[in-house]
Chain A
Amino acid sequence: MTIFQTILSVSLISTALAVLVVIADAIFNNYGECILDINNGNTKLTVNGGSTLLNSLAANRIFIPSACGGKATCGLCKVQLATDVGPVLPTEEPYLTDEEMQDGVRLSCQIKVKQDLALSIPEELFNIEQYETRIERITPMTHDIKEFRFVLEEPKVMEFKAGQYVQIDSKPYPGMQEQVSRAYSISSVPSETGAVELIIRLVPNGICTTFMHDHVKEGDTITMRGPFGEFYLREGADELIFIAGGSGLAPVKSMVYDILEKKLDKQMTFFFGAVTKKDLYYVELFQDLEKRYENFRYIPALSDPAPDDNWDGEVGLITDVVAKYVETPNNKQGYLCGSPGMINACINVLTGIGLTDEDIFFDKFT
């Protein structure tokens, strides 16, 4: 009897309180219809207030990059607000520079829509869509790198620039309940709009890379958003220096193919850094391109070749190899993709040769 009474009382009281909270939510959290004025009236959205700016925009299919899902731990979802919504919150402070704070830049996951807001969003973000995709093919490239080919099912077409990236949503798997979104560069060529290829390296204890390497198979569905990113080909120089390590090869492959397809008059040199021969991949592919096209040169370099590698190519750190081949800064641009350590070292080498910061573009894995 007591048990019955206990269960009944606790359920009733909890229900009563839950109803109270729901009513309070409906009353206090109801800010009516708010108008979001994006980019000086270019786009006007009417949304129901009370939700975060990030979610309100996503509900209207404007996807601001976000890797943490609105927990204020990634600092990616920045937008510039023209409307004053009060001081910067302590949760935002670590991710904003003094300059950004002055310009009204805020984290959209921490801003609640309570009034009409005027904001600016980079135009590229309007192209970003959420895609339902199916894994068509998984190809092992090295001992820890796999290539994935995804067919876009809904929507069916993605327009992107060579060098940009997409975000993949992981799903829970045994031993990991958390769901995350992670960014991977597209390695396929932009002219193929119905599918994308990604090159993913297994990071020890990485939530999403472990998911992709050990818990998906061909035919599985994956949700991704894109295209994102500022790492793409710029006007200005005729000689392009590509430097990559590991899965940093992905955007370079896309860019090289894009340039060759469009028959642009560019001289390209691709430096690829690895430790031993087993870390190299797509060697035949790039060597074949080198034979077929006069304006493409491929220079793989091993920092510590194994004795049985029989390696007769370049040996040494990629920075030394780049310094050996690149002599003058004239008419050159550098495109770098890889670990922050490698990129920083390579930026030093290129600026040492004489390239300016405006001529060096990079995509750091963080």
Chain B
Amino acid sequence: MGDAVAINPFIILLAAIFTSNMVLANFLGMCSFIAVSNEYKTASGLGKAVTLVMVVTTILNWIIFRFVIIPLGLEYLRFIIFIVVIAATVQIIEMAMDRYLPELHIKLGIFLPLITVNCAILGISLFMIIRDYGAVQSLFFGVGSGLGWWLAICALAAIREKIAKNKLPLGLDGPGITFIITGIMALAFIGFAGTLIVQ
């Protein structure tokens, strides 16, 4: 684990939200970020669902990596294993939520299948391995990345709701202007860079 142990989990949390935001610094999870950011309400729902799944799958994948993959020497299979773990977890979360938290399921249920194929979720699990994070660090990393993704999509959706009321040049309307906004937002987030040095 080496130097990574020295990094305070709270620093990792803040870094994941601001300086190395999943969407705006790493450009992961872009498809749903662009597709489901028309409305603030839905975007926020997806953000919450992503945060939930990220936290759960990060912890699960960390445990599986430490106690199954490393002892068996299956590191080269981690991509496929992480993906099936994520898919199964999302399935089980959806069923359990439908049973015990029906209110929440009505709000988040339709997003859960969408999240299975969100690359940001897989990205977190892979980053945590590459960066050699411990259990607590991984937990904070998962929470921070989820919150960061939520913050980013809410910001984008709020801006897009405002823009919808304005006239745009025809060629920019739709995805065009969305990418430009995302770029400017990414520039803004670069303003945080240097305050926290965590890759």
Interface residues of A (CB under 8 A from B): 5-6, 9-10, 13-14, 17-18, 20-21, 24-25, 28-29, 31, 86-87, 89-91, 112, 114
Task: Evaluate contact between A28 and B95: CB separation under 8 angstroms.
Answer: yes
Pick from B77, B84, B99, B102: contact of A86, CB below 8 A: B102
Task: Evaluate contact between A112 and B98: CB separation under 8 angstroms.
Answer: yes
Task: Evaluate contact between B88 and A17: CB separation under 8 angstroms.
Answer: yes
In the assembled complex, 10 residue pairs joining A and B whose CB atoms fall closer than 8 Å, in A order, are A13-B84, A21-B91, A24-B96, A25-B95, A28-B96, A29-B99, A86-B106, A89-B106, A89-B110, A114-B99
What's the minimum C-beta distance from B33 to chain A, rounded to whole angstroms?
Answer: 19
Task: Evaluate contact between A20 and B77: CB separation under 8 angstroms.
Answer: no
Q: How far is the CA of A28 from the CA of B102 in the complex (A)?
A: 12
Given known A17-B85, A24-B91, A29-B95, contact A9–B74 (CB-CB < 8 A):
yes
In the assembled complex, B173 has its CB within 8 A of some CB on chain A: no
Chain B residues within 8 Å of A6, by CB: 77
Q: How far is the CA of A5 from the CA of B91 in the complex (A)?
A: 27
7 extra A-B contacts, CB within 8 A, seeds A17-B87, A28-B96: A5-B74, A13-B81, A13-B84, A17-B84, A24-B96, A28-B100, A90-B110
Task: Evaluate contact between A10 and B106: CB separation under 8 angstroms.
Answer: no
Q: How far is the CA of A14 from the CA of B81 in the complex (A)?
A: 8
Q: How far is the CA of A10 from the CA of B84 in the complex (A)?
A: 10
Task: Evaluate contact between A91 and B110: CB separation under 8 angstroms.
Answer: yes
What's the minimum C-beta distance from A107 to chain B, rounded to whole angstroms?
Answer: 14
Task: Evaluate contact between B92 and A20: CB separation under 8 angstroms.
Answer: yes
C-beta contact mask, B56-90 vs A, less than 8 Å → 1, else 0?
00000000000010001010010011001101100
In the assembled complex, B161 has its CB within 8 A of some CB on chain A: no
B95, B102, B103 pick with most chain A CB within 10 angstroms: B95
What's the minimum C-beta distance from B113 to chain A, rounded to whole angstroms?
Answer: 12
Chain A residues within 8 Å of B110, by CB: 89-91
What's the minimum C-beta distance from B67 to chain A, rounded to whole angstroms?
Answer: 13
CB closest chain-B residue, reference A23: B92
Q: How far is the CA of A55 from the CA of B77 in the complex (A)?
A: 39
C-beta contact mask, B97-119 vs A, less than 8 Å → 1, else 0?
01110110010011000000000
Given known A17-B85, A21-B88, A86-B103, contact A9–B77 (CB-CB < 8 A):
yes
Q: How far is the CA of A9 from the CA of B69 in the complex (A)?
A: 10
- Name the 9 nearest CB pairs between A and B, nearest first: A17-B88, A28-B95, A24-B92, A28-B99, A28-B96, A21-B91, A9-B74, A21-B88, A86-B106
Chain B residues within 8 Å of A31, by CB: 99
Chain A residues within 8 Å of B87, by CB: 17
